[in-house]
Amino acid sequence: MPSRLLSLIAMFCLASMLHAQVETPAGSQLSPARFQLYGGYSFLSNSLNGVTGSHQPMNGWDASLGFPSWRNLRFKLDFSGYSGTNLGAPEKPYFIMGGAQYSKRLGRETVYVEGMGGDGGVGRYWGANKTTGETASFVGFVGGGADTRISRRLAFRVDGGLQYSYFALASGKGLIPYRIPGLPTNFGRVSSGLVWNF
Sequence letter at residue 127: G
> Which of the four CATH numbers 3.20.20.70, 3.20.20.10, 2.40.160.20, 2.60.40.10 does domain 2-197 have?
2.40.160.20
CA–CA dist 69, 44 (Å, integer): 28
SS3 per-residue string spanning 112-169:
EEEEEEEEEECCCCCCHHHCCECCEEEEEEEEEEEEEECCCCEEEEEEEEEEEECCCE
Q: Which residues contact 82 (CB under 8 A, 6 or more apart)?
A: 42, 44, 58, 59, 60, 91, 92, 93, 94
Report CA 101 to chain centroid distance, whole Å. 12
> pTM above the 0.85 mark?
no
Residues 6+ away with beta carbon under 8 Å from 3: none
What pLDDT, on the 0 to 100 scale, is given for residue 25?
47
**Cβ–Cβ under 8 Å, residues 125 and 131:** yes
Mean pLDDT by groups of 10 residues along the chain of 198 residues? 51 46 45 85 97 95 97 97 96 98 95 98 94 94 97 96 94 73 95 97
Per-domain boundaries in the chain: 2-197
Find out whether 76 and 94 touch, Cβ atoms under 8 Å.
no
> Strand (E) positions, 26-134?
36-44, 58-66, 73-86, 89-91, 94-106, 109-121
pLDDT given for residue 180 in this prediction: 86
User: What was the pLDDT predicted at 170?
Assistant: 85
* Longest CA–CA separation in the chain, Å: 68
Confidence at residue 80, expressed as pLDDT on a 0 to 100 scale? 98
